[in-house]
Amino acid sequence: DILERHRRDPLQLLQILIELQARDGWLAPATLGALADALGMPRARVESTASFYSFLHTRPAGEYRILFSDNITDRMLGNQALMQALCDKLWLQPGKVSEDGLVSVATTSCTGMCDQGPALLANGRTVTRLTPERIDEIAHLIRRRVPVGDWPPEWFHVEDNIRCRDVLLDHGLAPGQALAAALERGATSILGEIERSALRGRGGAGFGSDIKWRSCRDAWGDAHYVICNADEGEPGTFKDRVLLASYFDLVVDGMCIAGMAIGANKGFIYLRGEYRYLLDRLETRLAQRREQGLLGRNILGRGFTFDIEIHLGAGAYICGEESALIESLEGKPGKPRIRPPFPVTNGYRGQPTTVNNVETLALAALIAVRGGEWFRAIGTPASTGTKLLSVSGDVARPGIYEFPFGVSVAEVLEAAGARDTQAVTSAGAAGHCLAADEFGRRIAFEDVATGGSIMVFDASRDMFEVARNFAHFFAHESCGFCTPCRVGTAVNARLLDKLAADHGSPYDLDEMAKMHRLMQGASHCGLGNTATIAIDDMLVKFRPAFERRLHSPDYEPAFDLDAALSQARRMTGRDDPGAHLGDNRGALAEE
Ligand code: SF4
């Protein structure tokens, strides 16, 4: 059934694997072999995809698979103690499967619930606002083997937490109204309005949407494609979750308008695996729109055909990078392509493809109704319109804030009820970290550029631990394709662990700085190039938090070298002072 539903199409490989795992609990070798035969693909190709994604298990992972969200904001809310408590109650170690094969408990990167954490995924379903009492109940339900689908429904409730609305979140348009306005204007006029609006991509890079759409429209191909990048994986970002949950028609209108503008009849929404809970709702709404003439053949009787398919991700941050996303959409491991060629000419199936952020598409729909000049009057000359910010951490009111570009960081902090703030990360783990004397700076591409993640740290927080959390995040999420990033992110995490274990010296900080320079210049894609930005800022602006961890003025290994020599001492029958390091280094040198 699963294969037939996916037309035995190798491009659907990732979707098929996700569904096979949902059916069986894991992807057994026999399953992968049979799948390779059925799709007529080399088994190695199937295995490489199955082993790339964090949410796919090629070994038994338990009837209940519990993944605690491990963003720094989850840590600040006590996720580690909660995870340990669950493990204690279930008699297992974090990262392991219980001996009876019933349950595994581990961590995963940010699940996009920073405004209502700590959170976890139970067999892929999101449980928010964890407390010690809820952990007790979860352990009880697992021990009684109650299916996750029968757990209390209120546990799975995800709030929008919209705190501040502007033109986007208060748009007041009916479903399809923006699309009707765009069809009335026509493709050329829409491209003109997008150009006049000076709309820039909201994922963080800020590329001009009109240039992207025009380049794609002008590229030769058998077919053109629109992809909505709903893989927001940046730690601390959850704005697209809210747009998909409560503003979906505007996003779909935006996708249809993009399709009309570039000459595409097909679009994809690449939905991050952590937002699996939204899938059925979104599929239902797409089906309703088809019945209402707002999607599919001959939309609104205007002769325009455009339809949308939703693909799920499976826990890979790198798939937020557009070429990695396209690889994933084609059923492959999400590794960034070598560019050029760019997706606008050689994207999905090698055809011209525009990849846009969820927020960008929603704004494009607004522009189709209200016009480019209207939009351009909001924000700053170089950063037009409004920006959705996901604010979390040490604030009284975590949630979604919509502000015109140009708002200062201090104004955002004030609105969110932040007190005694020492630091703000302005673009998740991959952007700059601002200290208190920079809070007068403005959110805008020309000043503080952001994809929308604003994490706030008050004076009680140890910025060293923030840096260590970010370093582990990148070490886990590096796709491993290029050496500077694969090795650099791992070394970075190990050096910070070494400082945490009281084995650090100034040498380690110097090594880290050297490694960062190398990674920023030589990594293949944005992940490696940006993985050190926030940590570099913290090293400079919060230096004492790192220097407090330095144990020795001289180089010291990360492990106890003297203890490691004990076997050699036993073999040689020596245990005199000269056979020891530490205080006896001098004696050893004399020998
Ligand atoms: Fe992969 Fe990192 Fe290289 Fe990007 S920079 S291709 S994520 S290894």
For residue 210, what is the domain's CATH number?
A: 3.40.50.11540
Residue nearest to atom 1 of ligand 1 (CA): 479
Sheet holding 266-271, edge to edge: 296-299, 304-312, 266-271, 225-230, 353-357
Task: Show the beta-strand stretches assigned E in 116-205.
Answer: 120-122, 125-127, 162-164
Backbone angles phi, psi at 292, to 5 degrees: -85, 0
Structure tokens at 546: 């790192």
Residue nearest to atom 4 of ligand 1 (CA): 525
Domain boundary residue, one of 102, 129, 159 = 159
Of 339, 515, 516, 525, the one to substitute when testing ligand 1's pocket (max ligand atoms within 8 A of C-beta) is 525
302 found inside a domain? yes
Of 479, 489, 492, the one to substitute when testing ligand 1's pocket (max ligand atoms within 8 A of C-beta) is 479
- Domain encompassing residue 94: 64-159
Domain boundary residue, one of 132, 159, 186 = 159
Find out whether the beta carbon of 486 lies less than 6 Å from any atom of ligand 1: yes
Residue nearest to atom 5 of ligand 1 (CA): 528
Radius of gyration of the chain (CA): 25
Find out whether the beta carbon of 448 lies less than 6 Å from any atom of ligand 1: no
Please check whether residues 80 and 114 belong to one and the same domain. Answer: yes
Please check whether residues 324 and 439 belong to one and the same domain. Answer: no
Between the CA of residue 581 and those of 86, 309, 558, 560, 588, what are the distances in Å?
Answer: 41, 64, 14, 10, 7
Spatial distance between the Cα atoms of 195 and 181, rounded to a whole number of angstroms: 17
552 found inside a domain? no
Find out whether the beta carbon of 480 lies less than 6 Å from any atom of ligand 1: yes
Domain boundary residue, one of 124, 159, 194 = 159
List the end-to-end C-alpha distance of the chain, in Å, as a whole number. 74
Find out whether the beta carbon of 122 lies less than 6 Å from any atom of ligand 1: no
557 found inside a domain? no
- Tens-of-pLDDT digits for all 591 residues of the chain? 999 999 999 999 999 999 999 999 999 999 999 999 999 999 999 999 999 999 999 999 999 999 999 999 999 999 999 999 999 999 999 999 999 999 999 999 999 999 999 999 999 999 999 999 999 999 999 999 999 999 999 999 999 999 999 999 999 999 999 999 999 999 999 999 999 999 999 998 899 999 999 999 999 999 999 999 999 999 999 999 999 999 999 999 999 999 999 999 999 999 999 999 999 999 999 999 999 999 999 999 999 999 999 999 999 999 999 999 999 999 999 999 999 999 999 999 999 999 999 999 999 999 999 999 999 999 999 999 999 999 999 999 999 999 999 999 999 999 999 999 999 999 999 999 999 999 999 999 999 999 999 999 999 999 999 999 999 999 999 999 999 999 999 999 999 999 999 999 999 999 999 999 999 889 999 999 999 999 999 999 999 999 999 988 887 777 777 878 888 888 888 888 888 876 544 443 443
Please check whether residues 368 and 229 belong to one and the same domain. Answer: yes
Residue 529 Cα: closest atom of ligand 1: 5
The sign of the torsion formed by the CA atoms of 72, 78, 82, 87 equals: positive
Please check whether residues 326 and 415 belong to one and the same domain. Answer: no
